[in-house]
Structure 1
Amino acid sequence: MLAKLLCREGQTVSTEDEAIDPVAAAEAWRQRYGPSKKPTINDVARIAGVSKRTVSRVINKSPLVKDKTRSEIGKIIDIIGFSPDPQARGLAFRHSYLIGMIYDNPNPQYVVNMQQGILNGLKNSGHELVVHPCNRDSDSFLQDARQFVERQKLFGVILTPSVSEDERIVAMLREIGCAYIRIASVALENNANMIVSNDRLGGREAGRHLAKLGHKRIGFISGKPSFRSSHERRLGFEEGLAEHGLELDPKFVREGAYTFQSGLDRGSELLQLDPRPTAIFAANDEMAAGLLQALRVAGLTAPDALSVVGFDDFQIAISVWPRITTVHSPVTRLGELAAEKLLLLKEQETPDTKEGENVPWLVERESSGPPAN
C-alpha cells in the first residue's frame, strides 16, 4: 500500500483520495519534524498506511510481507531515521528483542566468526546479541545459563558446540519457554531447531585428499572428546580413507584439545615414531598450526617430511608458512542461518532448510603434497 502524506501528527490526508509516493511522504515527515522528534514505529506505520504488525514483520525479516511493501517500508525507515529500541519494543509487544549466544568453544576465532554471522543474521531486525561464555564441566553450568536467560529476558538463544550437544540445557530452555537454535555437527532433533554443520562430510574430504596424494601412513589428532564434532570429523576421515582401501592405524592417532599447544604436543609425539606418519590430519587449524611448529622444532618441513591438513579454514591457516591445506567450514554462515531461523521461530513460521549453504569443502594449499620417496 502506498503511503499518504501526513498533514499533522496522528492524522493522514490525501488529495482527491490518491495515495502519495511513500518516499515523498517520508521526506515530508522529515522536513516537518527534522531532528526535533524521534520517529516511532507508529510514525512508520502511518506514513506507509499499514499496521504496526506489518512494520514489525518487515523489521523482523518475515517472508510474509510482499516485496513491494517491504521495499516501501524500508525506504521510509531509512528516510525518517527510525531505529527500533529493543527494550521499548519488548515492553510494547510483551517479549524481548535480545538474542543470546551460549558457547564453550576454546577456539577464539570460532567464537568471533560465529558472533559475526549471528550479527549478520540479526541486521536490521531490531534485535541485539548478548553472549555468555560457559564451562560445561562446571557444577554451576546450568544454573548460570538459566540466570543469564532469565536476567536478560531473552526471547531466544543460539547454542554452539559443544553446549548445543547437552540435552540438559535444551530441557531447561524448554521448561522456561525460551526459543533456541542448536548448531551441531549432526542433527540432534527436529529441523526447526537445528543448523547442521556436516563435519563428517568435511572429514571425508580430508581423507580423500591425503589418500589421493598417495599417503599410506596417515595420522590423526582429534579434538576434545566432549565435542561431537571431534568424533564426526574422525568418522568422515576414516570413510574418506576407506574409499581408497586405507585404514587409520591406531598407533598414529592422538587425542588433542582443539588448541595450538595440544597440536604441538601431540604432533611431537607422532614425529618421534619410527616409522613416523607421512601425513597428519589435525581436527582443527589451531592444532594444525601447532603441528607445523612441532615440525620446525624437529628440524623438519611440510610437506617434504610431513603433509598437514587442518579443519575450519580460519585466519591462522593463511597466517603461517606453509599455508595450511584445510577443510573450510562456513562458520559465519552457520551463525547467520541460525539467527535467521530463530527470527522465523519468533514469527511462528517454518524456515527453509538451506542445507546446501553449510557443507564443508577442501581448500588445498602448500602444507600438503605427495609423500617423499
Structure 2
Amino acid sequence: MPRGDDKLSGQTTPTINDVAALAGVSKKTVSRFINKSSLMSDATRDKVSRAIKQLGYVPNPQARALALRRNFMIAMLHDNPNGQTVLNFQKGVLAAIKDSELALAVRPVDRTSPELLVEIEAFLSMQRPLGVLILPPISERDDIVDLCKRLDIAYMRIGSTALDDPAHCVASNDRAVVHELTTALLAKGHRDIGFVRGPEGFRSPVEREAGFRDAFADSGVTLDESLIGQGNYRFDSGLEAGRALLGRKNRPSAIFASNDEMASGVLHAAYSFGLSVPDDLEVVGFDDTATASHVWPTLTTVHWPIEEMGRLAAMKLVSEFLGGTTDEFDLDQVVVDSYIVERASARLT
C-alpha cells in the first residue's frame, strides 16, 4: 500500500536516503547507526532512531549486500594444528564484531595441498566476504595475498613479525620477548640453556630462536650450539628433544621450548630422568595456552596475545564498514606485545 505521508521521496518504501534527509545527517551516519557503531553521539543516534521509527524504515540486508557486492561476513583461513590458538583468535574476532551485523566464517585449509589456492578461491568467490583474516603459518604465503588482491577482497595477515604494510597485518613481538626471557635466565646464572626449535620453514620459530640467540650475544655469553634441539610444536617432539638434551653429559640447567606443547614434553622427559623441576632443571615455554596452567609444575611461559591480535585484526579489517575510526583501538597499530607469565617451572624473579 502506498505511503500517503511520504513527503520525502514519493516512494512506497522508505530508503536510507529518506532517513538521512529526515534526521538531517549523512547517509554514512545512518549506515553507522544500522551497523550499531559506537562512533556517534547520543544526540545523533536519537535523531536517526526517531527518523527510522517515523518512516517505518527496515534495513534490507540483501539489498545492502548486493550494493556492496559482499556478504556481511568476514572469513578466517587457517592451517594450524593448535586448536586452542584458533579458538582464542576466534574469540577476539567475535568480540570485535559482536555488536554489528557481521558474521564469521571459519575455513580450515591444508597448506600442503596442491589445490590450496583453487580451494581458497572457490570459497572466497562463493562466500563473498567483506574481508579475510589469514592466520599463521599460511599468512606467510604471498600467493594467498595475491589471490585476495585479484579477487578485490580486503585481507589481514597475522604473524610473529610484521608480514605486510600496517594496513594489512597484525603481529606479535616474539623476538623481543624471547630475548627478555632468555636474558632473565642468563641473569640468574644459567649458562647451559637448552633450546627446542619449532618446525622449519615458518617465521615464528625463526623469530623465537633469533631472540634466544640475541640474548646470548648481548649478554656476552657463548651459546653452546649442541644444546639446540629440533621440534615441531607438538608434545612428542618436545619429549624427544628433552630426552636428547637431558641425556647429555653436559645437560642444560634450563630449557626454553618454543611453545607450551613442547615444554610439556620437556617436563615429562625431566621426570623420566628423575629430575625435579625447577630445582634440578628450569623449563619455560611460549603461548600461555591452557596447557601451561594444567601441567605440573605449572609452566613459566610467554603469553602470546592471540585473542587481542584477533580483535585488533578484525577491527582493522572492517573499521570502514563500521564507521572508519574507533577510540578503543589505534588502527595504525601493528604489534601487540607478548609478555612473560611466571609460574612454578622457572623462577625468574
State whether TM-score is above 0.5: yes
Q: Is the 8 A contact 1:87 1:97 kept in 2?
A: no
The whole-number CA distance in structure 1 between the counterparts of 2:3 and 2:240 is 70
Q: What does 1:57-206 align with in structure 2 at a 5 Å threshold?
A: 57-60=32-35, 65-68=39-42, 72=46, 89-206=64-181
Q: CA deviation at 1:317?
A: 0.7
Q: CA deviation at 1:261?
A: 1.7
Find 2:227's aligned residue among 221, 231, 252: 252
Q: CA deviation at 1:353?
A: 2.3
SS of residue matched to 2:145: helix
Structure 2 residue 337 is the aligned partner of structure 1 residue 362: no
The whole-number CA distance in structure 2 between the counterparts of 1:220 and 1:115 is 30
Measured at CA, do residues 230 and 262 of structure 1 come closer, stay the same or move farther in structure 2, by a change above 3 Å? same
Measured at CA, do residues 46 and 226 of structure 1 come closer, stay the same or move farther in structure 2, by a change above 3 Å? same
The whole-number CA distance in structure 2 between the counterparts of 1:44 and 1:366 is 63
Structure 2 residue 191 is the aligned partner of structure 1 residue 216: yes
Structure 2 residue 294 is the aligned partner of structure 1 residue 316: no
Higher relative contact order (CA 8 A, sep 6+): 2
Q: Is the 8 A contact 1:284 1:312 kept in 2?
A: yes
Q: CA deviation at 1:328?
A: 1.2
Q: CA deviation at 1:164?
A: 0.8
Structure 1: gaps (5+ residues): 1-7, 14-39
Q: Letter of the aligned partner of 2:132 in structure 1? A: V
Structure 2 residue 54 is the aligned partner of structure 1 residue 54: no
Q: After superposition, what is the alpha-carbon deviation per residue over 1:336-370, rounded to whole angstroms, capped at 9, x for unaligned?
A: 000000012557958632357x1111111110148
Q: Is the 8 A contact 2:93 2:314 kept in 1?
A: yes
Q: CA deviation at 1:244?
A: 2.1
Normalising to structure 1: TM-score of the pair? Answer: 0.79
Q: CA deviation at 1:248?
A: 3.0
Q: CA deviation at 1:297?
A: 2.4
Aligned residues: 333
The whole-number CA distance in structure 2 between the counterparts of 1:298 and 1:157 is 47
Measured at CA, do residues 84 and 348 of structure 1 come closer, stay the same or move farther in structure 2, by a change above 3 Å? closer
Q: CA deviation at 1:202?
A: 1.8
Structure 2 residue 249 is the aligned partner of structure 1 residue 271: no
The whole-number CA distance in structure 2 between the counterparts of 1:96 and 1:10 is 34
Q: Is the 8 A contact 1:185 1:198 kept in 2?
A: yes
Q: Letter of the aligned partner of 2:166 in structure 1? A: N
Normalising to structure 2: TM-score of the pair? Answer: 0.84
Structure 2 residue 209 is the aligned partner of structure 1 residue 230: no
Q: Letter of the aligned partner of 1:368 in structure 2? A: A
Q: CA deviation at 1:133?
A: 1.0
Farther off after superposition, 173-182 or 90-99: 90-99
Q: CA deviation at 1:239?
A: 1.5
Q: Letter of the aligned partner of 1:213 in structure 2? A: K
SS of residue matched to 1:101: strand
The whole-number CA distance in structure 2 between the counterparts of 1:303 and 1:66 is 54
The whole-number CA distance in structure 1 between the counterparts of 2:58 and 2:307 is 25
The whole-number CA distance in structure 2 between the counterparts of 1:295 and 1:10 is 82
Structure 2: gaps (5+ residues): 8-13
Q: After superposition, what is the alpha-carbon deviation per residue over 1:163-213, rounded to whole angstroms, capped at 9, x for unaligned?
A: 111011011111111110111122222111111212111211221121122
Question: 1:4 maps to which residue?
Answer: none
Farther off after superposition, 113-122 or 254-263: 254-263
SS of residue matched to 1:312: coil
Q: CA deviation at 1:89?
A: 3.7
Q: CA deviation at 1:72?
A: 3.8
Q: Letter of the aligned partner of 1:166 in structure 2? A: R
Question: 1:352 maps to which residue?
Answer: 331
Q: Is the 8 A contact 2:315 2:331 kept in 1?
A: no
Question: 2:237 maps to which residue?
Answer: 262
